[in-house]
Chains A and B, each alone.
Chain A
Amino acid sequence: MKTESRLEKVLASGNLAVTSECGPPRGALPDKVREKAEMLRGYVDAVNVTDNQTAMVRMSSFAACVIIKQMGLDPILQMVTRDRNRLAMQADILGAYAHGIDTMLCLSGDHPYFGDHPQAMNVHDIDSIQFVQMVHQMREEGKFMGGGDILNPPKMFIGAAANPFADPFELRVARLAKKAKAGTDFVQTQCIYNLDKFELWMKGVRDRGLHEKVHILAGITPMKTAGMARYMKNKVPGMDVPDEVVDRMAGVPKEKMAEEGIKICVESIQRLKEVKGVSGFHIMAIEWEQKVPEIVEKAGLYPRPENL
Chain B
Amino acid sequence: MITAERKPLEEIIASVKPFQRILLVGCNECVTVCAAGGRKEVGLLASALQMHFMTEGKTIDIKEITLERQCDPEYVEELNVHMDQADAVLSMACGCGVQEIARRYREKPVFPAVNTKFMGASERQGVWAERCQGCGDCLLGLTGGICPIARCSKRLLNGPCGGSTTGKCEISPEVDCVWQLIWDRLKALGMQDRYEDITPAKNWQTGRGGGPRKIIREDLAE
Contact = CB atoms under 8 A, between A and B. Distances in A.
A145 B171 contact: no
A141 B172 CA distance: 40
Contact of A190 (B162, B167, B172, B204): B162
Given A111-B170, A238-B165, A181 B180 contact: no
B163 interface: yes
Interface string B118-140: 00000000000000000000000
A238 B160 CA distance: 11
Nearest to A170: B183
Contacts of A40: none
A16 interface: no
Interface in B127-161: 153-161
Contact of A134 (B170, B183, B201): B201
Interface stretch (B9-17, B48-56, B101-109, B192-200): B192-200
B166 interface: yes
Contact of B166 (A133, A134, A167): A167
B25 interface: no
B154 A171 contact: no
Given A108-B154, A126-B201, A130-B201, A166 B195 contact: no
B161 A181 contact: no
A181 B200 CA distance: 12
Contacts of B172: 113
Given A122-B154, A167-B177, A182 B170 contact: no
Nearest to B195: A174
A211 interface: no
Nearest to A181: B198
B136 to A, nearest CB: 15
B206 interface: no
- The B contact surface, by secondary structure, is loop
A257 B170 CA distance: 29
B159 to A, nearest CB: 7
Given A145-B201, A168-B180, A108 B156 contact: yes
Contacts of A125: 201-202, 204
Chain A contact residues (Cβ within 8 angstroms of B): what range?
A: 35 or more
**Most B CB within 10 A of own CB, among A174, A175, A182:** A175
A92 interface: no
Contacts of A108: 154, 156, 161
A167 B179 CA distance: 10
Contact of B155 (A110, A124, A145, A178): A124
A121 B148 CA distance: 17
Give the size range of B's interface with the partner.
20 to 34
Contacts of B161: 108, 128, 163, 166, 238
Contacts of A166: 160-165
Nearest to B177: A167
B24 to A, nearest CB: 32
A14 interface: no
B157, B163, B177, B196: residue with the most chain A Cβ atoms closer than 10 Å: B163
A178 B198 contact: yes
Given A133-B198, A145-B201, A190-B162, A238 B170 contact: yes
A47 B156 CA distance: 27
Contacts of B157: 127, 130
A29 to B, nearest CB: 30
Interface in A163-199: 163, 165-168, 171, 174-175, 177-178, 181-182, 190
Contacts of B170: 110-111, 237-238
Contacts of A134: 201
A86 interface: yes
A82 interface: yes
B165 A171 contact: no
Contact of A129 (B153, B155, B158): B158
Interface of A: 81-82, 86, 108-111, 113-114, 122, 124-130, 133-134, 145, 161-163, 165-168, 171, 174-175, 177-178, 181-182, 190, 237-238
15 contacts: A82-B154, A86-B201, A108-B154, A111-B154, A114-B171, A127-B154, A127-B158, A130-B158, A130-B199, A163-B161, A163-B162, A166-B163, A167-B166, A167-B180, A177-B196
Interface of B: 153-167, 170-172, 177, 179-180, 183, 195-196, 198-202, 204
